[in-house]
Chain A
Amino acid sequence: MLQHIYFSNEGCRLLGAYHRPADEAKRQPIGIIMLHGWAGYRIGAHQMFTKLARTAEAAGFFCLRFDFRGRGDSEGEAAATTLSTMISDTVAAVDWLVATTGLERIALVGDCSGAEVAIGAGPLRPQIESLVLWSAPMVGADRTESDRAKKWYIVKQYLRKLFLRATWAKLFTRRLRFGMIKKALVSGGKGAGEEGAEEDEQIDWVQRFVRFPGEVLFIYGGNDPTAKECISYYKSLSRQAQRAFSSHIVPGSNHAFYSVSWEEEVMTVTLDWLRDQGRKVEAQLDAAARS
């Protein structure tokens, strides 16, 4: 059952979509909170979060999808949103879901910037026990190479467009938006404000990731130009954290999994992994009850 709710954080009213399983007796021991990307909102890229939440709800998970302040239907100035404010909103969301459901274990599912937020929020509440990170950028790292890979990917896309008749038609009728092309190349595919605010630089991102006591699953698109470097980076950080590195690559997929089959694979892998986490919790609880 879907219910729209409001909760507050730092003077802003945030809108959430709260999914409650029909049969609460069969509920999973983990609640899921979904963290959208930088300029997105609670439904996620191509409605992935809506679809994931509906499927998860049917499988017995309590889920919360919400809009960060300055995004979606939440209050707040769009330009004032930073990763730090998003982390703060996430902690408030965790507190809300825990208080509402009585659940003691929460999984954060973050998409792109939402994955960064998940890493930032991970150690801040003991109830956060697992992270599923879709297309996570490298937190606390020099992203020069990764940005270069993204820009080259964009160049390749535009070069591909040269093979299409429609592009030449636009060029001859002066409908090509050179300003837009230049902007895409200069920004490297990043949205306004996504470069990072000063307060975000104060966060010790590496330590947040290393300190996180729970389990983490990374999912990347096989055709995401930054995937290889990100995976290498997080493997190294996971060794530092003495945590097993778990990942899944969706063959052929781009950064935001823009196809029905790619998104289905991401959602299936995510839910299967969360079900496994739930089974581990139940096993622990059974063992504790017996002893």
Chain B
Amino acid sequence: MARVKERVVEIAVGGSALHAVYHDGGADSEWGMVFCEPFAEEKKCAHRVLVETARTLAAAKFGCLRFDYRGCGDSPGRFEDYGPTEWVEDITAAAHYMRQQVGVRTVGALGLRLGATLALQAAEVDRLFDFALLWEPVVNGQHYLKLNLRRSLIKAMMTEGDEFASEEVRQQHNEAEVVDFDGYPVTQVTREQIAATDLMENRPQFPGPTLILNLSSREQVANEYRELAEQMPNAEAVGVVQEPFWNRIGLVSSDAVVEATALWLAELQAEMAAGPAGSNNDTHK
């Protein structure tokens, strides 16, 4: 692949300057993507996949903006001082950056896991995004927290052996001010905000074209994603056979998900180019 121009940039939000990298889609690029990262260690595991995805899409003339939420990665602040509310603000700031600083006319969100969920929340703001790509979004926050509880239980079992008390761990997860998610101090406020997430109950009304990718060992789409797509105004759900790179310690090929993403984007571009006057991409000039 030819070297794609990319540069470190900063996005101003809430008195902070978020660390970001912009992958330039080229002088004639009119489309851009804001990457919305997953939560905690999923971000670290998925990092290289997202970098390579951004490079692939930039080579296809999509300007791509990847950034670290406040308290995460190389952005300022401590992890425990921020949560979903601030991270949705960060996504909003990133989208505005693309439109105002970079000058891209058609801006989409590409979110992975909780990042996809937050992207949908941000997208509810009128005209922030024109389309959305949601990779394995977290549909039910309570269930997602339970997965983390399960990991804590196993870690406690392995560490404490005969002294392990599962009820103590569960209670801590439910009541403690700060819970340790494998090195990430997660506050009660953050847990409550994640737990309150329920995309089936709070039906997203984002009107833009949306692709939900269910990444698993099967091509069959899971019920929750099929139902989510049915509830949204303009969404489809597709199953892609893809290893869950966001919770793997080693490197994983992401060819399948990137290919599915690129194909859908190409189709969307063709549709919007052929679309009627007054469609989304005509309004952000």
Chain B residues with CB under 8 Å of A190's CB are 250
Q: Is the pair A157, B154 in contact by a Cβ cutoff of 8 Å?
A: yes
Q: Is A247 an interface residue (CB 8 A)?
A: no
Please, how many residues of chain A have a CB less than 8 angstroms from a CB on the other chain?
50
Task: Collect the chain A residues with CB atoms within 8 Å of residue B158's CB.
Answer: 153, 156-157, 160, 223, 254
Inter-chain contact A191/B44, CB cutoff 8 Å: no
B183 and A259 contacting across the interface, CB-CB below 8 Å: yes
Report yes or no: B217 in contact with A41, Cβ–Cβ below 8 A. Answer: no
* Binary flags per residue of B16-58, CB closer than 8 Å to A gives 1, else 0: 0001010000000000000000001100110110011000000
A154-176 CB mask vs B (1 if < 8 Å, else 0) is 00110011011010000000000
| Contact present for B47 and A72 (CB under 8 Å) | yes
| Known contacts A39-B251, A157-B154, A177-B217; A73/B159 CB under 8 A | no
Task: Contacts A72-B47, A223-B158 given; indicate if A194 touches B74 (C-beta within 8 A).
Answer: no
**In contact, A4 and B51 (Cβ under 8 angstroms):** no
Answer whether residue B203 sits at the interface, using C-beta atoms and an 8 A cutoff.
no
- B182 near A46 with CB under 8 A, answer yes
Q: A2-B74, A43-B73, A47-B72 are in contact. Are A71 and B250 (CB under 8 A)?
A: no
Beta-carbon contact of B73 and A50 below 8 Å:
yes
Are B249 and A73 neighbours in the complex by a CB distance under 8 Å? Answer: no
- Is B157 located at the chain interface by the 8 A CB criterion? yes
Question: Do A164 and B150 touch across chains, with their CB atoms under 8 A apart?
Answer: yes
Residues of A within 8 A of B243 (CB): 180
A134 at the interface (CB under 8 A from B): no
B45 to chain A, nearest CB (A): 8
Could you tell me if B180 and A259 are in contact, using CB atoms closer than 8 angstroms? yes
Contacting A at CB under 8 A, from B113-159, are: 146, 150, 153-155, 157-159
> What is the CA–CA distance of A160 and B157 in the complex, to the nearest angstrom?
7
Find residues 166-218 in chain A having any chain B CB closer than 8 Å to their own CB: 166, 177, 179-180, 187, 189-194
CA A247 – CA B21 in complex, angstroms? Answer: 38
Docked-complex contact B74 and A258, CB < 8 angstroms: no
Q: Which of B72, B185, B251 contacts A260 (CB 8 A)?
A: B185
Q: Check B3 for interface membership: any CB of A closer than 8 A.
A: yes
Q: Which residues from chain A contact B250 at a C-beta distance below 8 Å?
A: 38-39, 187, 190-194
Q: Which residues of A contact B73 (CB under 8 A)?
A: 43, 47, 50
Q: Is the CB of A164 within 8 A of B153?
A: yes
**A-chain residues with CB within 8 Å of residue B51 when the two chains form the complex:** 72-73
Chain A residues 50-102 with CB under 8 Å of chain B are 50, 71-73, 75, 78-79
Would you call B183 and A254 a contact (CB within 8 A)? no
Q: Please, how many residues of chain B have a CB less than 8 angstroms from a CB on the other chain?
A: 39
Interface string of B209-253 (1 = CB under 8 A from A): 000000001000000000000000000000000011000111110
Taking CB as reference atom, which chain A residue is nearest B10? A4
Partner of B44, one of A46, A166, A180: A46
Partner pick for A259 among B8, B155, B217, CB 8 A cutoff: B155
Do B79 and A47 touch across chains, with their CB atoms under 8 A apart? yes
State A262–B248 Cα separation when bound (angstroms).
21
Interface residue B184 (Cβ < 8 Å from any Cβ of A): yes
CA–CA, A204 to B217, complex, Å?
41
Q: Complex: how many Å from CA A257 to CA B249?
A: 14
| Residues A192 and B180 in contact in the complex (CB < 8 Å), given A4-B74, A73-B51, A164-B150 | no
Q: In the complex, what residue of chain B is closest to A167 when comparing beta carbons?
A: B150
Q: Are the CB atoms of B47 and A41 closer together than 8 Å? A: yes
A247 to chain B minimum Cβ distance, whole angstroms, is: 20
Contact B146 A257 (CB under 8 A): no
- Docked CA distance A166–B249 (Å): 23
Q: Which residue of B lies closest to A187 (CB)?
A: B250
Q: Distance in Å from the Cβ of A258 to the closest Cβ of chain B?
A: 4
B48 touches A45 (CB 8 A): no
Contact with A along B241-284 (1 / 0, CB 8 A): 00110001111100000000000000000000000000000000
Q: 1/0 per residue A224-262: CB within 8 Å of B?
A: 000000000000000000000000000011100111111
Beyond A190-B250, A192-B252, 7 extra complex contacts between A and B, CB < 8 Å: A43-B44, A47-B183, A72-B51, A75-B3, A157-B158, A257-B183, A262-B183
- Kindly list the 3 A-B residue pairs having the minimum CB-CB distance in the complex, ordered from nearest: A191-B250, A46-B183, A258-B182
